[in-house]
Each structure stands twice: as structure tokens, then as C-alpha cells.
């Protein structure tokens, strides 16, 4: 497979100089959102003539019910980016965002930064709390910030460590996952990159998946725009699983910096017993490693880790791949 890397924008290069640069903070994501009514307010904070923090802040202005005075809201998807262990910098950035909210006459500002609360499942012996997350959460609470009941992105996620050899990856997987991976290979499932002319097929499978699994998606044009935009930028890589010459499942792997993301996965009802999704994820891991990624974000974990949570089955699948839970405040 030939991998080409597009030249980064000045904004993206700034993000890459900061801790945990995120896909949703890139210029491509902001451009995507501009097409659906958001304005991008890029902001950086310097320390000793060096950018120490940055945020792509999305602004939306509208009238409730189409009448009355205009109101604005501000949203920072997976940002701001900074070293959260630096208390002085954190307080300065948060204070400046509060001032910006007033300046822009917004009714609120919302952020869902990756503030680390801990890793592992709470209440188990494997959970490790991160004191930095507690300190930042306390700071935000003291300054009047509140946890929103309306989560835009997943509060928790699961991360796969891509260090080591493929044999070490297999060793970190659950036994059942290794079995299903071998089963897919034995049953004639193959995985290959998808072309731009196959994005329509991916969307149709994604729509089918949403109905079958009971989650809401946006319209066709939105996803085709995301995929084409990020593919062109070298930050998205669609894969499809095949059986007997027919596409039966797929995913779109995104990458930025040293991390890859699994944002969109899709499948048909056909040949599900051949476990195509296991081989798809295996090949996505291999591709992410080839792209220089050190971790693979499987995008989403339950809010509550019990069997009644609608994401518990997905959590078990991701856990089987060797992924570890990462918690944030939301």
C-alpha cells in the first residue's frame, strides 16, 4: 500500500507542537463545520514567545424558532489543547475563554477537552485515577463551569497501544478475539483500501448499520464531505472487507499526528458469521502503525460500565482487541 502525506496547514502544524493534538481541532474539521453554519475562531496562547495552547473554537449564531434576537453559542470540540498539568497556564486559558464568551455575546461556551480523569474501568482493581483530571475539574467547577447533560462527543473512549510487534498485539487481545480474527481469515474474508468511487457504498452500509443498531446519523452529503475532505488531506483511509468479490463491511480510519481514530464503521447483514469486523480492525491497526501512529482511538465507551448500557457490547468488542478505557469529564 502506498501512503502519501499531504502538506499540513500552518494551523495544523501548530497543533502538532502541542500535547495530544486532536483530529477535531484540525483546519479540515473547522472547514467541514463551516459548511454547516459554524464560524471558526482560532486562538493561541503564548508563553515565552512559544505557542503553549491553542483552540479551534466553533461559533454558531441563530434565532430561536427563526424569530426574535440573534443568539450565539461557542463550542470547542476536543479542545483546547495544552498541558493540563500546568495549573497556571490552564487557569489563564480558561479565564481567557470566559472573556471570549462575553466578547462574542454567546449564551454559553462548551468544551469537551481530553482532560484525563483516569484509565481503566472505575470500581475495579485496574482503574488508575489521574490527579491532573481532578485538579482541572475542581478548577472548572470553582469558576462556574458545569457538566452538560447534552454530550456532543463521547465522554469516554478506548485506546489501543500500537507499540510492539504484531505478535505482541495478538498477545494483548482476548482469546475469543484472536479466534474470531483467525476465523475471518479462514473463511475467506479479505480487506482492501476503498476508492473514492466506493464512498457511496460505504454510506449505504453505514445507514443500514444505524437502523440495525439503533443510532442516529446525519445525511449522506455530510459523510461524503467528511470522507472526501479528509481523504484528500491524507487523514482518512477507507477500508472494505470482501467475501466472494462482494463488499460486506467497512470502516474509515482517520489519522493526525501520532494517533488514529475509528470514527465510522459499517456492515451489511451478509456473512456476519464470518467475523469481517475483526479482520477489518486488524488491518486498520496495521495501517495506523504504517502511518506513524502510536495509538488507535476506538472512539467511544459506555458512560456506565454495566450490561444495561447500550454501548456495553461495543465496549466488550473493543476490550477484546486489547484497548484500554480512557475517562474524561465530558
Task: Verify that 193 and 84 share a domain, yes or no.
Answer: no
3-state secondary structure the chain: CCCCCCCCCHHHHHHHCCCCCCHHHCHHHHHHHHCCCCEEEEEEEEECCEEEEEEEEEEEEEEHHHCCCEEEEEEECCCCECCCCCHHHHHHHHHHHHHHHHHCCEEEEEECCCCCCEECCCCCCCCEECHHHHHHHHHHHHCCCCCCCCCCCCCEEEEEECCCCHHHHHHHCCHHHHHHHHHHHHCCCEEEECCHHHHHHHHHHHHHHHHHHCCCCCCHHHHHHHHHHHHHCCCEEEEEEEECCEEEEEEEEEEECCEEEEEEEEECCCCHHHCHHHHHHHHHHHHHHHCCCCEEECCCECCCCCCCCCCHHHHHHHHHCCCEEEECCC
Domain membership of residue 121 (yes or no) is no
**Position 292 confidence tier, pLDDT thresholds 50, 70, 90:** very high
Quote the pTM value: 0.94
Cis status of the peptide bond prior to 53, with omega within 30 of 0: no
On whether residue 92 sits in a domain, the answer given is yes
- Mean pLDDT over residues 167-194, rounded? 98
Q: Residues 216-228: what's their mean pLDDT? A: 97
Same domain, 86 and 32: yes
Residue 126 in any domain: the answer is no
Q: Assess whether 85 and 166 both reside in one domain.
A: no
Residue 5 has pLDDT above 80, yes or no: no
Q: In the chain, pLDDT over 90 holds for what percent of residues?
A: 88
Query: Do 199 and 282 fall into the same domain?
Result: yes
Least-confidence region, from 38-52, 56-70, 145-159, 247-261: 56-70
Confidence tier at 90 by pLDDT (50, 70, 90):
very high
Q: What is the mean pLDDT of the chain?
A: 95
> Do residues 103 and 179 both lie within one domain?
no
Q: Give the domain CATH number at 37.
A: 3.40.630.30
Same domain, 197 and 298: yes
What is residue 44's predicted lDDT score, i.e. its pLDDT?
98
> Are residues 162 and 99 part of one domain?
no
Please indicate, yes or no, if residue 123 is contained in any of the structural domains. Answer: no
The pLDDT > 70 percentage for the chain reads 98
Question: Domain check: are 108 and 171 in the same one?
Answer: no
Domain that holds residue 56: 10-114
Confidence of residue 3 (pLDDT cuts 50, 70, 90): very low
Q: In this predicted structure, what is the pLDDT of residue 151?
A: 87
Q: How many domains does the chain contain in total?
A: 2
Mean pLDDT throughout 29-39? Answer: 97
Q: What is the pLDDT of residue 149?
A: 87
- Whether the per-residue pLDDT at 220 is higher than 50: the answer is yes
Place 1 in a pLDDT band, splitting at 50, 70 and 90: very low
| Within a domain: 146 | no
Mean pLDDT for the stretch of residues 299-325: 91
pLDDT on residue 141: 97
pLDDT band at residue 255 using 50, 70 and 90 as cut-offs: very high
Q: Are 294 and 192 found together in one domain? A: yes
Confidence category of residue 7, pLDDT binned at 50, 70, 90: low
199 and 315, same domain (yes or no): yes
Question: Over 70: is that where the pLDDT of 25 sits?
Answer: yes
Question: Residue 183: is its pLDDT beyond 60?
Answer: yes
Reported as a single tens digit per residue, the pLDDT across 149-164 is 888 999 999 999 999 9
Does some domain include residue 124?
no
Give the lowest-confidence range in 4-18, 89-103, 191-205, 309-323: 4-18
Q: Does 2 score more than 70 pLDDT?
A: no
Amino acid at each position: 500500500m502506498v501512503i502519501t502525506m499531504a502538506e499540513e496547514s500552518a494551523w495544523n502544524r501548530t497543533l502538532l507542537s502541542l500535547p495530544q493534538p486532536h483530529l477535531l481541532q484540525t483546519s479540515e474539521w473547522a472547514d467541514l463545520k463551516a459548511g454547516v453554519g459554524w464560524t471558526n475562531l482560532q486562538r493561541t496562547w503564548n508563553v515565552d514567545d512559544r505557542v503553549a495552547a491553542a483552540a479551534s473554537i466553533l461559533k454558531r449564531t441563530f434565532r430561536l424558532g427563526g424569530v426574535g434576537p440573534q443568539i450565539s453559542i461557542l463550542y470547542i470540540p476536543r479542545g483546547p489543547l495544552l498541558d493540563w498539568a500546568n495549573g497556571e497556564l490552564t487557569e489563564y486559558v480558561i479565564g481567557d475563554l470566559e472573556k471570549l464568551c462575553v466578547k462574542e455575546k454567546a449564551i454559553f461556551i462548551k468544551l469537551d477537552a481530553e482532560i484525563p480523569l483516569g484509565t481503566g474501568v472505575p470500581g475495579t482493581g485496574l482503574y488508575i485515577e489521574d490527579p491532573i483530571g481532578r485538579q482541572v475539574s475542581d478548577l472548572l467547577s470553582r469558576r462556574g463551569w458545569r457538566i452538560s447533560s447534552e454530550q456532543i462527543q463521547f465522554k469516554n473512549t478506548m485506546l489501543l497501544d500500537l507499540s510492539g510487534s504484531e505478535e505482541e498485539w495478538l498477545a494483548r487481545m482476548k482469546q475469543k478475539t484472536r479466534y474470531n480474527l483467525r476465523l475471518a481469515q479462514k473463511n475467506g474474508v479479505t480487506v482492501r483500501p476503498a476508492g473514492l468511487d466506493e464512498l457511496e457504498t460505504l454510506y449505504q452500509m453505514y445507514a443500514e448499520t444505524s437502523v440495525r443498531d439503533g443510532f442516529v446519523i446525519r445525511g449522506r452529503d455530510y459523510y461524503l464531505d467528511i470522507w472526501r475532505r479528509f481523504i484528500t488531506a491524507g487523514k482518512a483511509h477507507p477500508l472494505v472487507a470482501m467475501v466472494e468479490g462482494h463488499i460486506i463491511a467497512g470502516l474509515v480510519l482517520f489519522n493526525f499526528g501520532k494517533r488514529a481514530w475509528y470514527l465510522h464503521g459499517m456492515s451489511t447483514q451478509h456473512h456476519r458469521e464470518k467475523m469481517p469486523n475483526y479482520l477489518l480492525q486488524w488491518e486498520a491497526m496495521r495501517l495506523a502503525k504504517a502511518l506513524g501512529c502510536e495509538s488507535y482511538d476506538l472512539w467511544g465507551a459506555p458512560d456506565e460500565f454495566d450490561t444495561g448500557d447500550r454501548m456495553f457490547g461495543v465496549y466488550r468488542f473493543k476490550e477484546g482487541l486489547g484497548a484500554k478505557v480512557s475517562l474524561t469529564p465530558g
